[in-house]
Amino acid sequence: MQSILTPDIGLIFWMAVAFVILLIILRKYAWNPILNALHNREKTIEDALSAADEAKKEMEQLKADNDKLIKEAKEERGRILAEAKETREKIINEAHEKAKADADKIMQDARAEIENQKAEARTEMKNQAAKLAIEVSEKILRRELSDSESQEKYVNELVENRESLTMSAQRLAIRYAQSLHDLALEKGKHDTIHGDMKLLLQTTNESRELSLMLKSPIVRIDKKARVLHQIFDDKVDDITIKFIDIIINKGREDHFVNIAKSFIDLYNQHNKITPVKVTTAVEVNDDTHQRIEQALINQTYIERVEMSTQVKEDIIGGFVLHFDDKLYDASIAHKLNEVKKELTN
């Protein structure tokens, strides 16, 4: 019996034959498919790598395009914002210029109307002045000016007449203001009409031409109404516009200022507001104003304060308060005057 470790020629031969047959079978039936499969695998890998490279290039191109789009978008955004800002400023400037032009035109028209009537006004005023002078002279002569007692009596009568006229104008202003005040409360527009009256008062105080036009007996009523409508139509409430028409139609436009003041007084009384005027030597800050206001509320009968300020360097320092016909002078100038009086007495 041979050992398995001792080679046998027959065994070697048949193993060689079997191996050759196996190679022939593999070559014919398996080797080509395996080689094809390997070749296809290599081609697939190469195609995948090529596709990956192409994809990488496309991604880089897309990123470059995206960066370019972002840059262009930012530039476009900047241009749009700049154009929007420019357009906004242009619209605002045009609106300001138009408003100024309209206001200038209104005032020019008013001035032109006044200038056109000046010649007639001068003649009329001269005639009225001459007539009044004659009437006054006649009254004086009739009262025997040589008699001092008669002169004193006449002077007193003139003073009383002046006071009577003033009281009559005040009563008229209060009557119209009271009617407007009651209507504003009834319609729930108390604060709105108060703002309108402040605007009307401010406008007439700032425009000497408008104030003169309202008081002029020469300017026709329809022209006064037209000017007032041009100034206030888009700035005040309809109730105020109708009230202006009533005042003009009644021929009371020369009382506008007093009526507005009377309405503001009624508004303050209704809301328990006390107007306080503060005079200082220099501008003071809001904190100081609030402290003065709180001190007035705490130390007086005042419940609510409407404060206005004025700067007068001649008071040197401290402050002066005016309210309800009262004066509280805490200025350095006042204290120095007091010291001066004491030293001179």
Interval 190-227: pLDDT, tens: 999 999 988 988 888 888 888 888 888 888 888 888 88
For 298, the domain range is 272-340
Residue 320 lies in a domain: yes
Q: How confident is the model at residue 138 (pLDDT cuts 50, 70, 90)?
A: very low
Q: Which of 78, 261, 305 is nearest to 172 (CA)?
A: 261
Buried residues in 232-263 as b, exposed as e (16+ CB within 10 A): beeebbebbbebbeebbeeebbebbbbbbbbb
| DSSP conformation class of 313 | G
Residue 154 lies in a domain: no
pLDDT of residue 188: 92
Q: Which of 318, 287, 322, 329 is nearest to 302 (CA)?
A: 322
Residue 295 lies in a domain: yes
Number of domains in the chain: 1
Q: Are strands 304-311 and 326-329 parallel, antiparallel or unpaired?
A: unpaired
Residue 198 lies in a domain: no
Alpha helices in the chain (DSSP H): 9-25, 32-142, 148-186, 190-206, 208-215, 221-232, 238-249, 256-270, 286-299, 332-344
pLDDT tens digits for 54-98?
A: 888 888 888 888 888 888 888 888 888 888 888 888 887 887 788
Residue 45 lies in a domain: no
Residue 47 lies in a domain: no
Residue 316 lies in a domain: yes
Rounded to whole angstroms, the Cα distance separating 158 from 212 reads 26
Residue 46 lies in a domain: no
Q: Which two tokens stand for residue 324?
A: 């309800």
